[in-house]
Homo-oligomer: A and B are copies of this chain.
Amino acid sequence: MRNRTIETLKEIGLKVTPQRQAILKLLDGNRSHPSADSIYRQLLGEYPRISFATVYNTLSKLAGAGKIQELDIDPIKKRFDPRTALHYHFYCTSCGRVFDVACETPFLGTLDPAGVKTIDGHRVDAIQLNFKGVCKECARKQRGS
């Protein structure tokens, strides 16, 4: 495998363009759970003419193909996660950051997306377990102030 981004795009039948490669490269290993806007702004440095539409369109297709995950956790915008393996998220209502939640946490063991096919007769395609609260850094700052 020469270039993973090219492989990924070809796998899901998308044309390989510099913009799409840049989006995938930016997402690869990215643990910040960026929004489309944040991805767009980060790419502006390298691609001053890239458009919002391209970013949205690409993210949407990647998510549709299961190559990235679209998170419903931030109440004001979609967040994206390149990590597709089993894990969950914590959203800080103070700073807006999204953190991965360690899967070793006891009660998560019994919850496996791969094992749930239907629930109450409805076909399940995705499961999201979201925790919301105040992250430790924000909590420390608030105590200090």
Q: Tell whether A70 is near chain B: CB-to-CB under 8 Å.
A: yes
Tally chain A residues at the interface, Cβ within 8 Å.
37
Contact of B131 with A126 in the complex, beta carbons under 8 Å: yes
Chain B residues near A131 (CB-CB < 8 A): 116, 119, 122, 124, 126-127
Contact of A122 with B99 in the complex, beta carbons under 8 Å: yes
Q: Tell whether A46 is near chain B: CB-to-CB under 8 Å.
A: no
CB distance from A35 to the nearest CB of B (A): 13
Q: Tell whether A4 is near chain B: CB-to-CB under 8 Å.
A: no
Q: Which residues of A contact B (CB under 8 A)?
A: 70, 72-75, 78, 90, 92-93, 99, 101-102, 105-107, 110-111, 116, 119-136, 139
